[in-house]
Amino acid sequence: MTRIDDTFARLKAEGKKAFVAYVMAGDPDYETSLEVIKGLPGAGVDIIELGLPFTDPMADGPTIQLAGQRALEAGQTLEKTLQMARELRKTDDKTPIVMMGYYNPIYSRGVGRFLTDAREAGIDGLIVVDLPPEEDKELCIPAQEAGLNFIRLATPTTDDARLPKVLQNTSGFVYYVSITGITGAAEAQAGDVGPEVERIKAQTDLPVIVGFGIKTPEASEAIAGVADGAVVGSAIVGEIAAGKPVAEILAFVKSLADGAHRA
């Protein structure tokens, strides 16, 4: 049982849906980013998705691309991202941390070394958007053997023939991408998402969390109402990009979390 498994078991017992928040590590700088991350659990965040900045983030829209650029320009690295997890773990041993990004920085560090360091830092799961199931031997299976969940994305174009392959070595939860395209583009619609979530749940016992296109507390509540939880990234990153005080950013996060928890 990982922290992710424990969190979903607790939420289920409480009759609540999960709220997952994405932030880009190191955006706009290390100190501000760490302050935001440390404040997320108190704002009602059940799982933290910690973005690993990368120079060529092909799945991300302008908001998260720019966040990655700001972080890299401020000197953020994979090592500093792991250090952020270590800092959070000094005061919080319960909130799961999922590192989300691309394979290149992990490959450059070396898979074995990365997994050892990630586990030691308190990382609970990985989302690596550019590693398909056909490449599971690269990272997915070693990660699971090291005790980390490997979380896979399913999309509106993942048909019934492809879905079993996507689910094959997935653990922790399934991340359903509610819209076709890049992050932060269109708005997610619960009426479209609900049947897709049911289709996935017919083939797995894992929780299904929905992200992309959720920007308001009302949308967070609506999407969580048809899934096991909601993920918000671009809307939070946008608040950080606007240079708002950390307290204001966390108040916005709390409004989104409250929406999901009302579902």
- Is residue 179 within 8 Å of 212, Cβ to Cβ? yes
Q: How many CB atoms lie within 10 A of CB 159?
A: 9
Enclosing H/E stretch for 19:
strand 18-24
Query: Of the listed 5, 27, 46, 49, which one is catalytic?
Result: 49
Here the tokens at position 104 are 């290149």
Active site residue 187: no
DSSP letters spanning 22-69: EEETTSS-HHHHHHHHHHTGGGT-SEEEEE---S--TT--HHHHHHHH
Active site residue 124: no
Burial class of residue 55 in the structure, from the number of CB atoms within 10 Å of its CB (0-12 exposed, 13-18 middle, 19+ buried): exposed
Q: Determine the distance from the C-alpha atom of residue 249 to the mean position of all C-alpha atoms in its chain, rounded to a whole number.
A: 18
Q: How many CB atoms lie within 10 A of CB 110?
A: 11
Query: Of the listed 46, 60, 136, 221, which one is catalytic?
Result: 60
Nearest CA-CA partner of 21 in 262, 261, 189, 254: 254
Here the tokens at position 252 are 């916005």
Q: Which residues are catalytically annotated?
A: 49, 60
